[in-house]
Amino acid sequence: MTSIKPFGLRIQSEIELPGCVNTDSTPDVIIRLGGVPKNLHNPKLTLACTQVSPDSFLLSLDNIARYLVENGNSITIEPVAGVGEEEIRLFLMSSVWSALLLQRGILPLHGSCIRVKERAIVIGGYSGNGKSTLAVALMQAGYPLISDELCGVTISENSQPLILPGFRQVLLWKDSLEKLGIESHGLLQTRPNIEKYILPLEDSDTIEPVLLGGLYILSVINTPTYQVIPIHGISKVSMLVDSTYRVKHVGGLGLNVLHFKQCTGIAKSIEVKNIERPTYPFDIPALVRVITEDFSC
Amino acid sequence: MLRDDIKEQGHIVWFSSYPKSGNTWFRAFYTNLIRNLDKPAGVNELEPRLLAGSRNLFDQYTGIESSDLNENEIERLRPRVFEIISREIGKEGNPVYMKIHDAYTKTSLGEWLVSPKATKAALYFIRNPLDVAVSFAHHNSCSIDKMIEKMGDENYALNFKANRIGNQLKQRLTTWSNHVTGWIDQLGDRLHIMRYEDMVRDTLNTFTKAVNFLELPNDGERIQKALRFSDIRELQKQEEQYGFKEKSQSAASFFRQGKSGSWREVLTSSQVERIIGDHGEVMKRLGYLNEKGELLF
């Protein structure tokens, strides 16, 4: 297995991460098991499970673990006794990792990312609309999958947005696996009693950052037709803001100004489109046809 | 009345109902009343936009993905989510309007799901269960007998699928009777009942009472205009033209007849008996049956 650097980061971790081998050189991020406080001192933002201040991010899950992310280079995890590594990893690789990326000035977009020729295309949209399912269907159609769930965008020296390839796995509900013709037998569940499975991805030929070309927001509507609607002007910026992973944390980290600048800058150089699909049926081949036809436009 | 003298209260004003009981009609009226424009508000832009069962809302205010949690964990966090929304959006002291279909129940930790700390007041919409059975069966594209069974099922919930996710969280309805008594017995004079049959036959007076309860501008002309703009024919016309995003995927249309008493043309006598058998006590209490057991609507 190739040693990957998820999101371009050298990792040293006491918890195994898919496809990652601990770095031999100076790590960018150290992940260790240890004591984590129950509260942050005077957080700027408190949500139901998270507390956020400019240098620190705390995620508390009563029956899983507490996670503390500091200064963009340190994650400490205090698991609840008896909790399996899959469950600890699940939250580490989503909300916790998005906070780490924000602290490092990397914009985390909520979506799945594929490569179309030399450009990265992010598929965003609300949870449940079918982002990961569409991304895997596109992968089956020959488009390499670069990232799922969390897509890290950094800005190059010449002000171009680049996608940093993420973890080599996709999470899919049982219903989606069946629709995609993938056998769930043998796949690990994200958590006991949740019918969501971890589909490991093969080693990628995409290990270097890829120029971000577009963002498609997948939405669901009650009409039988498909539509691809280009978005223009300031609406592109608000689509990027809305697509930021757990966007409320941005304010808690004191990064509103930087975040807005990043979204404005990215909006200038990418295409943003809304892609609407009927609520029912979720016809994956039809959706793949619609989006791939649009790729070739 | 929107009282300020109650300890442990928040800023959320609930627009609450068992489904198909007039909540959406009132939202159309409310939207037109507050916007006060010279043409009807779009049926897909109804206020309040906050929907208690929205998965995205939950994810935003917990800081994590609800799709990584089991149903019990989600339910236990929902009171916190409502409290944070109340605190964040209502921080200037403004009421936060939110639509809700959940029953007034306790979580597995014994807490009220509809957190009293988040609640300021509630409008509760109620409709003759004989008409609800017809309308809800149409909405769900199921048989009336099946619908009657669900209306008497303590475990009945909206949007529960174990093997996939949708845009909405599981929302427990319990039985029609429990839904009604759960809400109307809890909030005392902070709850105002809107009976669908009164909304139909004594429209101006019934809607004006709600306007007064909500302490919205009581301007006769403005109320009349909002009623015209939210008339069932206007809603049907717009649904035909643009579709309605809140329609269930299987129903032919959301806005059907907007009448009361249409059960008389549809239900068999045994179906009527069954509904009265299940819900007669609450029907008496709300004036749908008289002391002799005769139907009044």
pLDDT at residue B264, rounded to an integer: 92
Question: Residues A221-233: pLDDT tens digits?
Answer: 877 889 999 999 9
Is B59 touching A (CB cutoff 8 A)?
yes
Q: Tell me if chain B has a CB within 8 Å of the CB of A14.
A: no
CATH number 1.10.3470.10 is the correct assignment for the domain at B12-128+156-254? no
Q: Which residues of A touch B75 (CB under 8 A)?
A: none
pLDDT classification of A165: cutoffs 50, 70, 90? very high
Any CB–CB contact under 8 A between B241 and chain A? no
DSSP letters spanning chain A: -PPP-GGG--EEESS--TT----SS--SEEEEE----SS-SS-SEE-SSEEEETTEEEEEETTTEEEEEETTTEEEEEEPTT--HHHHHHHIIIIIHHHHHHHTTPEEEESEEEEETTEEEEEE--TTS-HHHHHHHHHHTTPPEEESSEEEEEE-TTS-EEEEP--SEEEEEHHHHHHTT---TTPEEEETTEEEEEEEPPPPS--S-EEEEEEEEEEEESSS--EEEEE-THHHHHHHHHTBTTTHHHHHTT-HHHHHHHHHHHHHHSEEEEEEEESSS--HHHHHHHHHHHHT-
| Residue A204 vs residue A117, higher pLDDT | A117
Tokens standing for B182? Answer: 């759960």
pLDDT for residue B4 is more than 70: no
Predicted confidence (pLDDT) per residue in A166-222, tens digit: 999 999 999 999 999 999 999 999 999 899 999 998 876 667 899 999 999 999 887
Of A50, A191, A195, nearest to B163 by CB-CB distance is A195
How would you write chain B as a 3-class SS string? CCCCCCCCCCCEEEEEECCCCCHHHHHHHHHHHHHCCCCCCCHHHCCCCCECCEHHHHHHHHCCCHHHCCHHHHHHHHHHHHHHHHHHHCCCCCCEEEEECCCCCECCCCCECCCCCCEEEEEEEECCHHHHHHHHHHHHCCCHHHHHHHHCCCCCEECCCCCCCCCECCEECCCHHHHHHHHHCCCHHHEEEEEHHHHHHCHHHHHHHHHHHCCCCCCHHHHHHHHHHCCHHHHHHHHHHHCCCCCCCCCCCCCCCCCCCHHHHCCCHHHHHHHHHHHHHHHHHCCCECCCCCECC
Going by pLDDT thresholds of 50, 70 and 90, the confidence category of residue A1 is very low
Residue A60 CA to residue B55 CA, distance in Å, equals 20
Chain A 138-177, residues with CB within 8 Å of chain B CB atoms: 173-176
Pick the CATH number of A109-295 from 3.10.450, 3.40.50, 2.60.120, 1.10.1060: 3.40.50
pLDDT band at B7 (very low <50, low <70, confident <90, very high): low
Average pLDDT over residues A141-149: 95
Q: Any CB–CB contact under 8 A between A226 and chain B? A: no
Residues of B in contact with A195 (CB under 8 A): 162-164
Contact B164 A129 (CB under 8 A): no
Q: Do A48 and B59 touch (CB under 8 A)?
A: no
Tell me the per-residue pLDDT of A254-295, one tens digit each, with 9 for 90 and over.
999 999 999 999 999 999 999 999 888 889 999 999 999 999
Q: What is the mean pLDDT of residues A127-153?
A: 95
What ranges do the domains of chain A cover? 6-105, 109-295
Position B232 scores a pLDDT of: 87
pLDDT higher than 80, residue A3:
no
For residue A2, what pLDDT is reported? 47
Q: Do strands A50-53 and A56-61 pair parallel, antiparallel, or not at all (unpaired)?
A: antiparallel
Q: How many CB pairs under 8 A join A and B?
A: 93
Cβ–Cβ below 8 Å for A95 and B63: yes
Closest CA to A79 of A16, A29, A33: A33
Q: Which of B62, B70, B161 sits opposite A49 (nearest CB)?
A: B62
Nearest residue, CB atoms, B167 vs list A48, A126, A249: A126
Residue A97 has pLDDT above 90, yes or no: yes
Chain B within 8 Å of A223 (Cβ-Cβ)? Answer: yes
Mutate to test the interface with B, among A92, A169, A222, A274 (most CBs of B within 10 A): A222
CB contact under 8 A, B61 and A249: no
Rg for chain B, CA atoms, rounded: 19
Q: CB A280 to CB B249 under 8 A?
A: yes
From B57's Cα to the closest Cα of chain A, the distance in A is 10
* pLDDT mean over A115-138: 95
Kindly state the percentage of chain A with pLDDT values over 90: 87
The answer to whether B77 contacts A49, with C-beta atoms less than 8 Å apart, is yes
Residue pLDDT, tens place only, B279-292:
999 999 999 999 88
pTM of the model: 0.94
In which band, very low, low, confident or very high, does the pLDDT at A19 lie, cut at 50, 70 and 90? Answer: confident
With an 8 Å Cβ cutoff, are A174 and B80 in contact? no
Cβ separation A279–B81 shorter than 8 A: no
| Whether pLDDT at B163 is above 80 | no
What is the overall mean pLDDT for chain A?
94
> pLDDT tens, A54-73?
999 999 999 999 999 999 99
Whether B109 contacts chain A with CB within 8 A: no
